[in-house]
Chains A and B, each alone.
Chain A
Amino acid sequence: MTDHPTVEVSRLQELVYELKIEDVMKREVVAVTPQTSMREFKELLRLKRISGAPVVEGDTLVGIISLEDLIKALEDGEMDNLVGSKMSSRVETLFSDDSAVQAVNRMARFGYGRFPVVDRSGKLVGILTRGDILRGLLRRLEVNYREEEIQRYRASHIFEDIVSDRTSLILRYQVQGKDFRQGGAASSKIKRAIERLGGGPPIARRVGVAAYEAEMNLVIHTDQGGEMKVEIQPDRVYILAEDQGPGIADIEQALLPGFSTAPEWIREMGFGAGMGLLNIKHCTDAMELDSKPGVGTRLEMWFHIPPPESVQKQREDLL
Chain B
Amino acid sequence: MDLKAVLEVLEGEVFSPPPGLSSTADEDLHKLEFSCGGAADLMSDVLAFARPDSLLLTGLTHPQVVRTAEMAGILALVFVRGKHPPPETAALAAEVGIPLLGTRYKMYEACGRLYAAGLPGTGFPDLYALPYGMGK
Which residues of A are interface residues toward B (Cβ below 8 A)?
180-181, 183-184, 187-188, 191, 201-202, 205-206, 208-209, 211-213, 216, 257, 269-276, 278-279, 281-286, 303-304
Q: List the A residue with the shortest CB-CB distance to B130.
A: A282
Which 4 A-B residue pairings sit nearest by Cβ, starting from the closest?
A184-B67, A285-B133, A273-B44, A270-B43
Chain B residues near A201 (CB, 8 Å)?
Answer: 52, 73
On whether the beta carbons of B73 and A269 are closer than 8 Å, the reply is no
The answer to whether A271 and B43 touch (CB under 8 A), given A183-B64, A205-B72, A206-B132, is: yes
On whether the beta carbons of A183 and B132 are closer than 8 Å, the reply is no
Q: Is B117 an interface residue (CB 8 A)?
A: no
Q: Report A189 CB to chain B, min CB distance, Å.
A: 11
Q: Report B9 CB to chain A, min CB distance, Å.
A: 25
Chain B residues near A257 (CB, 8 Å)?
Answer: 128
Contact of A304 among B46, B62, B63, B133 (CB under 8 A): B133
On whether the beta carbons of B131 and A281 are closer than 8 Å, the reply is yes
On whether the beta carbons of B60 and A270 are closer than 8 Å, the reply is yes
Chain B residues near A283 (CB, 8 Å)?
Answer: 131-132
Chain B residues near A304 (CB, 8 Å)?
Answer: 133
Residue from B42, B58, B67 with most neighbouring chain A CB atoms (10 Å): B67
5 contacts between A and B (CB under 8 A): A257-B128, A269-B43, A269-B64, A276-B44, A303-B133
The answer to whether A205 and B43 touch (CB under 8 A), given A183-B64, A285-B133, is: no
The answer to whether A208 and B63 touch (CB under 8 A), given A273-B45, A278-B48, A304-B133, is: no
Bound: A203/B64 CA distance, A: 21
On whether the beta carbons of B52 and A270 are closer than 8 Å, the reply is no
Q: Report B3 CB to chain A, min CB distance, Å.
A: 19
Q: Is B21 an interface residue (CB 8 A)?
A: no
On whether the beta carbons of B47 and A212 are closer than 8 Å, the reply is yes
Q: A269-B64, A271-B43 are in contact. List 7 more A-B contacts (CB 8 A).
A: A206-B132, A208-B72, A209-B71, A212-B47, A216-B64, A269-B60, A273-B45
